[in-house]
Structure 1
Amino acid sequence: MDELEFILPVRLVLEEVAFLRLQKHKDLQVLGKLEGRIEAIREAADRGSVSDVNEADQSFHEMVMTECSGSSQAIRLWRLVMPRVRMLFNMLTPMHESLNAVAKEHEILLEAVRSGSRILLQSELEKHITSQPLAFLRDWSNAHPEGHGL
């Protein structure tokens, strides 16, 4: 868990810059593509496929990074932390109240982008990328005290 407490804030910093750039430029083409990724999350959730939900979830965030960060170095850094985050997704996604809740979280992120409120967007990103996964992880760790390397 210590490693994730380090990695998730790094991911947050990288994605926050990209999301804020998207908010500033309001690129309708990118927003449309992101809505498509949310629809893919929803469809995977309706099929009950955790792995497809996770794939579409990661695709959503990768699209934000590649389309909006404006920095090849930021993309490389993001890709360095994502394998560990992906392992976390595989474990924690089923802990959501439903798989459709994952789609709703991403809808909330796009609503925050569209709102124009930097503070709202930063708050929703922190919740989505850092505090919620860490809370799920604490719950999982309490239920599995043996930890298995987390």
Structure 2
Amino acid sequence: VRDALRDLVNEGLVTPRPRTWAVVREFTASDITDLIEVRSALEVLAFRLAAQRRTRAGLAKLRADLDAERAAAERGDGAEARRAAADFHETVTELADNALLTELEGTLRSRMRWLLGQHDDFTVVAEEHEELFRRIEARDVEGVEELALRHLETSQSKATEHRRRLAAE
């Protein structure tokens, strides 16, 4: 349990309290803004490099992530759709074939998965992932950058809607 808690602290998901229990971290508006800024920089780079460096095997893995996401979205399985969407983003980072980018993604993985799960519109996200996949497959670097930026805006607006709905409940 101590090792698991230490891992969660290192991932930024738990806040340790000396001589007492650790508590689950609550992300402030400022924390979320910081995450969005970092995500924007890293993901646009990841998508651009993925379009340049993609391989057949990488595309097959990305397709499998996307198919799992679409199937979960169609079933209304939010947990699985979120998981597969996060897997899609991680596979894009793998396709980028940049060791430092992969290391940074690993360090931020849990927080980014949390951030990516802050919406309920699985179909819209899956459709944008489909379009991103096509751009990567076609090695359309400019198109994938433009679409990645639009995807970030969609994610942010869907997350804002989601938080407003939760606050109203």
TM-score (norm 1): 0.77
Greater length-normalized contact order (CA 8 Å, ≥ 6 residues apart): 1
Q: Per-residue displacement from partner, 1:16-67 (whole Å, max 9, x unpaired)? A: 3332222123412211211111111112122221111111111111122134
Instruction: Give the % identical residues.
Output: 22
Equivalent residues in 2 for 1:3-14 (5 A)? 3-14=31-42
Equivalent residue for 1:30, pick from 46, 58, 67: 58
> Which ranges in structure 1 are unaligned for 5 or more consecutive residues?
none
Residue matched to 2:108 = 81
Deviation at 1:68, TM superposition (A): 2.5
Deviation at 1:141, TM superposition (A): 4.4
Change (3 A) 1:43 1:139: closer
> Which ranges in structure 2 are unaligned for 5 or more consecutive residues?
1-28
TM-score (norm 2): 0.70
Instruction: Return structure 1 stretches of 4+ with deviation > 6 angstroms.
Output: none
Supply the RMSD in Å over aligned alpha carbons: 2.3
Pick the structure with greater CA Rg.
Answer: 2
How many residue pairs match? The answer is 140
Q: Per-residue displacement from partner, 1:81-100 (whole Å, max 9, x unpaired)? A: 332232233331x1x1xx33
Equivalent residues in 2 for 1:44-123 (5 A)? 44-71=72-99, 73-92=100-119, 94=120, 96=121, 99-123=122-146
